[in-house]
Amino acid sequence: SAGGSWRRPACGCGVVVSALPTVVQAGHQELPARTNGSVPTTPALARDALHTKMEQLEEQLLSKILTLQKERQAANTDRSQQQHDIEKELNSLQNRVTELEHGESCYSPPDAFKVIIPVQNNYMYARMKKSLPELYAFTICMWLKSKALAGLGTPFSYSVPSQANEIVLLEWGTNPLELLINDKVAQLPLSLKDKAWHHVCVAWTTRDGKWSAYQDGEQRGAGENLASWHAIKPQGVIILGQEQDTLGGRFDATQAFVGELAQFSVWDHMLAPAEILGLANCTSHLQGNVIQWDDQAVEVFGGASKGGFAACEEGRKA
């Protein structure tokens, strides 16, 4: 050029300038060439991490709250159950106190109970689970309180397959009280229809058929030739409150006992008068050696029930 001076081409700047960003991009790849909303920044990442952590903590807190609520509900249920059990026990104790005060229902000793037959019909009765062995003598004692309007009915009956009336104590209608052995009859001069408690015993031996009858410890009648030389047959059925026309059944409502019975016991010999008196006035606790009065040995049927009975107290109220 004229004067020897050099001039930069007009387009050279554009080339150099346009190349600079490329160099910067090539030499510093770790830096973003530009920033916009499509790529999260460090503060945004921190916020996301914090948000995630808070969500996790909230989930943990919620889980803990639910666990505590379940534990609280379980504890409340346990307390409610405990309270229910305590109230039930208290009610039971209160009922026991009431029963002891009135002498009814529950009874502690196995023999401190009575059988209650409230209505005269042909389906209320008690049955002894135990039977009799073969007997050549016996004494049968019991406490009873009749509520019958007419005859006493049948306090007890013992039936065997070949003889429905093996042993029966019966007062039917206007007839006198009778003791039947092998369907043979002896009339007993006892008076038991005053609706009061009475202690009753009947004793018998096959030798000459001798018998005796006691009311409240006193002998009221005696005789002989009642089924003489007969042996009481074993393995029969003892029913309290009904007369058996067949083994264990076919009862007649007109012959049923209505009232209360207790302390039914059987011995295999004739008790002495002093022993019977001791039973009646409660100075003796002699137990039957064949049949003992025990709660587990007596079943009730048809609406008959059991209640508490203290012979020396309730029996002597009369």
Q: Provide the pLDDT for residue 6.
A: 43
pLDDT at 213: 97
pLDDT at position 121 is 93
pLDDT at 82: 74
Strand, coil or helix: 193 = coil
Distance CA 97, CA 108 (A): 13
Predicted pLDDT at 173 = 80
CA distances from 148 to 59, 138, 193, 239, 306 (A): 80, 27, 7, 18, 19
Tokens in use for 234? 């074993």
d(CA 34, CA 51): 27
Whether residue 230 contacts residue 108, with contact meaning beta carbons closer than 8 Å, is answered with no
Helix (H, G, I), strand (E, B) or coil at 58: helix
For residue 28, what pLDDT is reported? 44
Amino acid at 24: V
Residues of the chain short of pLDDT 70, as ranges, are 1-41, 87-108, 311-312, 314-318
pLDDT tens, residue by residue, 10-21 = 444 443 344 434
Can you tell me which residue has the tokens 């700047």? Answer: 13
Q: Are strands 163-171 and 153-160 parallel, antiparallel or unpaired?
A: antiparallel
pLDDT tens per residue across span 269-293: 999 999 999 999 999 889 999 999 9
Rounded Cα distance between 210 and 207, Å, is 7
Residue 219's DSSP bridge partners are 214
> Which tokens hold the place of 1?
């050029």
Distance CA 217, CA 193 (A): 17
Residue with token string 């952590």: 53
